[in-house]
Amino acid sequence: MLQYLHVKNLALIDEIEIDFQKGLNILTGETGAGKSIILGSINLALGGKYSKDMLRTGTQFGLVELVFSIENEKIEKILNELDIFSEDGQIILSRKLMEGRSISKVNGETVNMKTLRDVASLLIDIHGQHEHQSLLNKKNHLMILDAFAKEDIAELKKKTAEAYHQFTEARVALEESKLDEESRRKEVSLLEFETKEIEEASLASGEDEVLEEKYRFMLNGKKVSEAVLEGYQYTSGQDGENASELLGRTLRCMQQITDYDKKAEELFGQLSEIDSLLNDFNRELSDYSKSLEFSEEEFYETETRLNEINHLKTKYGNSVDEILGYYEEKTKELEKFQDYDAYVAGLERKYEQTLKELEKASTSLSKKRKSQAKTLVSCITEVLKDLNFLDVQFEMQFERTKDFTAGGIDDAQFYISANPGEALKPLNEVASGGELSRIMLAIKTVMSDRDDTPTLIFDEIDAGISGITAEKVAEKMNIIGRNRQVICITHLPQIAAMADTHYVIRKEVEKQVTKTRIFVLSEEESIAELTRILGGSNVTEHMIQSAKEMKEMAKRTK
């Protein structure tokens, strides 16, 4: 659940800190006090869109920090798969907002926006002021069903997507095979030329690397050979003085005095070792000199072969291995054209087979969806009745899509009749704003039983409702709050009275500067806030009594 919110330098917020509690957390306040800023701040921390005008005037940066406690093993496992690990049972999301950019972190480590959003989606679900409008787009109806039935249809959706991918590949291959005779003849001619050119080169894997090394050696061979020969002359040449001759003379001198002095004997031994090492060096230098010998003919052959390979590289690949891979690919294409009728017949068989498999997978998915849709609409209908849709009829109707898709063949949407005698009609044709809001609440209520998301946030879910309906919504929010943490921004006293923890947001002016503040209310303070909501500035004893009664009724409901 969301334990802690810290906001700094955003809009009217100088700096606030909020400790949220389990159950139903209610936020109230006068219009313009900054209730939407609180929710907007949370949205920003979860990866929402940011613009520099969100910063508090005169500040260089803003900061939003959320601390979540992780109590669900399933969520923790998924987080671990994302390489996110809780620390002391907590996950800390933060986002520093600067002019033109932002930095997001999870547990102090910088992450990209996708990772931030992936983590956030596991921890919190926000129902914004206008989210119920998404119900007007029927494409979202199937998404709701799939989310409700995800455990039952996950494997079928995967099979359908794979079947669609295979079908698409087979269809494209078949379409591309429909070449006219002239195009096919040109293609065969080109393939024959390319494969023959590579065949005649008789390439060997890695040959280019060996030749390039050898060629570089030959280009520098003369310079190397001259240096080696000169070095050999200095160490053991036949003409003039050299290291071997001089060392031999020194050895003979030292040998004459080894019997007279122990130190001279040691030096003679060291010199003997040097002489031995020099003799070994001379032999290796001689062998190396012989290895440097090559003929002009050998150099010409190496250069010619390398030019031939480099010419092929400009056409078929950056290395001999790539050229050979290209050759293998084109050989298969050529074989295809040489028995083209059989090849096309094979593609047609594959197309029919993948079509059949796609039809089977899509039909199975559709059947399971329709079965789950009955359960979904039944659950939603029950909740709608609790939300004062007393004679509601709610259905999900299916049509088959014109073409196959990776998501199957279902085009589904919700239908509703809110009053007796009214025919079922598409949701987007009949529902008012207040009704849509309650329908979305019903969906969220049903989904909360299937979803592991521990925290739900509702921003003015009460739009367009009052009276008994407001009481019903309050009761439903209370029920959700028994199993989930709920944070709700509201302007209705019926809902505010149901709070397990009640916060008030106020706008205050200090030294000509407007700031948003938030306070946790005691029970007496909560009653006073309910009275304000009921009567504004014209508070009467009757309103105070009504607020107390609302609070007592809420306690009994709980």
Q: Please count the other Cβ atoms lying within 10 Å of the Cβ belonging to residue 149.
A: 20
Task: Characterize 129-142 residue by residue with b for buried, 16 or more Cβ atoms within 10 angstroms of its Cβ, and e for exposed.
Answer: eebbeebeeeeebb
Instruction: Report DSSP state, residue 5.
Output: E
Helices and strands in the chain: count of H runs, count of E runs: 19, 15
Q: What is the dihedral of CA 268, 271, 272, 275, to 10 degrees?
A: -160
What is the reported pLDDT for 127?
75
In which order are the strands placed within the sheet that holds 13-19? 13-19, 2-10, 61-69, 90-98, 101-106, 109-111
First to last CA, the chain: 21
**Do β-strands 90-98 and 61-69 pair in parallel, antiparallel, or remain unpaired?**
antiparallel
Residue 468, pLDDT score: 82
DSSP conformation letters of 38-55: HHHHHHHHTT----GGGB
Lookup result for tokens 């079908």: 167
Residue in the structure block whose two tokens are 């869109």: 49
Residue pair 327/333 in contact by the 8 Å Cβ criterion: no
Q: Give the type of residue at 442.
A: A
Domain ranges of the chain: 1-129+460-558, 207-318
Which pLDDT score is estimated for 370?
96
Question: If phi over 0 gives left and psi between -120 and 50 gives alpha, with beta otherwise, what is residue 385?
Answer: alpha
Pairing status of strand 24-29 against strand 485-489: parallel
**Strand (E) or helix (H) holding 545:** helix 541-557
pLDDT value for 128: 64
- Write the class of the CATH domain 1-129+460-558: alpha beta
Average pLDDT per block of 10 residues along the chain, 558 residues long = 91 88 90 76 85 83 92 87 88 89 90 88 76 76 91 94 96 81 77 91 90 82 72 70 79 82 84 84 78 74 90 92 92 81 86 96 96 94 87 93 94 90 84 76 81 80 75 86 88 90 87 82 91 80 88 84
Model confidence, pTM: 0.63
Tell me which residue has tokens 């029970």. Answer: 523
Contact 380, 431 (CB under 8 A): no
**Coil/strand/helix, residue 232:** helix
Secondary structure, 3-state, 289-302: HHHCCCCHHHHHHH
pLDDT at 379: 92
Residue 258 per-residue DSSP state: T
Residue with tokens 């949220």: 20
How many angstroms separate the CA atoms of 425 and 138, rounded? 13
| Helix, strand, coil percentages, rounded to 5, for the chain | 60, 20, 20
In this structure, what DSSP letter does residue 261 have? -
How far is residue 237's CA from residue 278's CA, in Å, rounded to a whole number? 13
Q: What is the pLDDT of residue 138?
A: 84
pLDDT for the residue numbered 239: 61
Q: How far apart are CA 13 and CA 16, in angstroms?
A: 7
